[in-house]
Chain A
Amino acid sequence: MAQLHAVTAHPKPGKYSASMRTRTIYAASMAVGLIGLLAAFYVDKSRAWHSYLTSFFMFTSLALGGIFFAAIQHISKAGWSVTVRRLAEAMTSFLPMAAVGAVVLLFGAKNLYIWLDPEIVSQDAILRGKTGYLNMPFFVIRTIVFFAGWLLFTRLIVGHSLKQDEDGDESHTVKNVGLSVGFLLFLALSYSFFSVDFLMSLAPHWYSTIWGVYCFAGLAQSSFAFLCILSVAMMKRGLVRGLVTEEHLHDLGKFLLGFTVFYAYIGFSQFLLIWYANLPEETIFYLSRSTGGWMEATFALLVFKFIVPFVLLLPKAAKRTPAHLVLVSTLIIVMQYFDVHWMVYPNLVGGNVEKYGGQWIFGWPEISAILLFGGLFLWSVTNFLSRHSLVPVKDPRIEEAIHHHVTY
């Protein structure tokens, strides 16, 4: 490459500012979502809370995916990813709102978790045995610990990165390595418990020891998909010319492909052991997802969250063509919502058989929650990107990222 040694000055990232139209769309989405959700609370309280939980969990995971990506780049002292790291950091800006969302959820927890109903628990020996863990005060404490930890680590790690934009001090990069080690350890534990508390305890009799990993696989897969979309969006606007190139998309695409396989591997590991052992207390999970349209939903996960993206991401050109990568990423994000819905809703429709008949349902209460959380998420991401440089311009490894080159 001719410019290999010739570069003296870096290309400068452009300034992103969300257009009036974009802001209006996000604001409208939030408003419509909020009204829809409030209406849903009035019409069908239980369903409204389930739709709330589904969207809350999905977008909180996306935000955590952003800091997860930044942390693995710091911990591995990666050079190639410096120019896309800020975009991942932008995803974390939703976390404070997710914390508020969690507090709201705590008020509605009675509509979701039967282990909060003292009458049911007193007549159920298994639930009585689990009250040491599944009780409201401890649930609240855990939620506070999760979000306090995530917010603190994010503030420190992203804070160092933003500070470096101003002072160019390399010690920020060094400090972030240790912080990232701590954060990843904390995330592995806290996210496992988070997914167990918020999703698995919906069916408190049932348990799966791989549940946390399954949820984490969805987190990683969907957040890489969102990062791909965000990178392409910034490239399309010409704001990161010479900084984020198709070489970076190629590597993000590889990550996306890798975690797509990881998701299938974990999902199948969970299924295989339960299917093989065939114990009634375990198979109930898959039985409630195999009738009333749920069988089709289960197979849709296999086909559209693994097989189709896997094949579509396999060729080299697929990962280097922005439009194609965005298409696959969009499919994966849609399927991530579908996956969380698949984990949450059998609890609702199975618990109210006379009302829903165990059928697969999706309608305006679900769309409202997506609009509300999606609007909030995109609004906070674009707001973050408008306020900060799109690329950590003074990162000591930025040279490596600018010349990043994927060999064949």
Chain B
Amino acid sequence: MAKRVSGVVGIWYDDFELVEAARKVREAGYKKFDAITPFPVHGLEEAIGIQRSKIPWVTLIMGTTGLLSGLALTYWTSAVDWPINVGGKPFFSGPAFVPVMFELTILFAALSSVIALFAFCGLPKVDPPIIDPDLTSHKFAIFIPSTEENYDTGRAEQLLRQVGAKEVRHISEY
């Protein structure tokens, strides 16, 4: 589970203003801050500067692994360990193996994507701290953690006010 950190949070009532504010916070040099919104907000990833997810790589590598596992499984069971003549076809019959290879590709890729998603997002989060209950309905927040380089609570609070936060608060753990 992700370690809890303290920091400063600013709250907005409008998602468009949040995107603008996030851009300014990034321009001010902050790198590790995050936004909390009740629904996906377009353009927010770019404004915060979030890098692309690594999940596609997990999917690609595990999908390829699944494909090769399917090939290995079908080859070993039907041509090496227990060869059985089926309809006079060769023991190693490519077309007959394709469905197994296909299914294992999907299985490996899909399951590992879900697992990777949980791992990258630090899920499941048991009893997460509540900054503001309204963040799940109509409020939007930017959270600047104390782990930022050259972090200073006063300066962070001032910046959030400057870029238009309606409420600014210090959070001891998030």
Which A positions have Cβ atoms within 8 angstroms of B?
1-2, 4-5, 268, 271-272, 275-276, 278, 314, 316, 403, 405, 407-408
Contacts and interface: CB of A to CB of B under 8 A. Distances in A.
Contact of B45 (A268, A276, A407): A407
B111 to A, nearest CB: 19
A317 to B, nearest CB: 10
Given A408-B52, A408-B53, A4 B87 contact: no
29 contacts: A1-B19, A1-B42, A1-B46, A2-B20, A4-B16, A4-B19, A4-B42, A4-B43, A5-B16, A268-B95, A268-B98, A271-B95, A272-B96, A272-B98, A272-B99, A276-B87, A276-B95, A276-B96, A278-B87, A314-B60, A316-B56, A403-B42, A405-B42, A405-B43, A407-B40, A407-B42, A408-B45, A408-B52, A408-B53
A73 B105 CA distance: 31
Which 6 pairs across A and B sit closest by C-beta, in order of nearness? Answer: A1-B43, A405-B42, A275-B95, A408-B52, A5-B16, A272-B95
Given A4-B19, A4-B42, 20 more contacts: A1-B19, A1-B42, A1-B46, A4-B16, A5-B16, A268-B95, A268-B98, A271-B95, A272-B96, A275-B95, A276-B87, A278-B87, A314-B60, A316-B56, A405-B43, A407-B40, A407-B42, A407-B45, A408-B45, A408-B53
A218 B92 CA distance: 30
What is the interface of chain B mostly: helix, strand, loop, or mixed?
helix
What is the interface of chain A mostly: helix, strand, loop, or mixed?
loop
A3 B100 CA distance: 49
Most chain B CB within a 10 A radius of its CB, from A278, A316, A408: A408
A257 B116 CA distance: 24
A352 B6 CA distance: 83
Interface in B63-96: 87, 95-96
Q: How large is the interface on B (under 10, 10 to 19, 20 to 34, 35 or more residues)?
A: 10 to 19
A37 B99 CA distance: 44
Nearest to B52: A408
Contacts of A271: 95
Contacts of A316: 52, 56
Contacts of A278: 87
A1 B52 CA distance: 18
B36 to A, nearest CB: 17
A388 to B, nearest CB: 31
A101 B109 CA distance: 47
A314 B56 CA distance: 10
Nearest to A405: B42
Contacts of A268: 95, 98
Contacts of A407: 40, 42, 45
Contacts of B87: 276, 278
Contacts of B42: 1, 4, 403, 405, 407
Nearest to A5: B16
Interface in B6-62: 16, 19-20, 40, 42-43, 45-46, 52-53, 56, 60
Contacts of A405: 42-43
A272 B98 CA distance: 9
Contacts of B45: 407-408
A272 B20 CA distance: 55
A271 B93 CA distance: 13
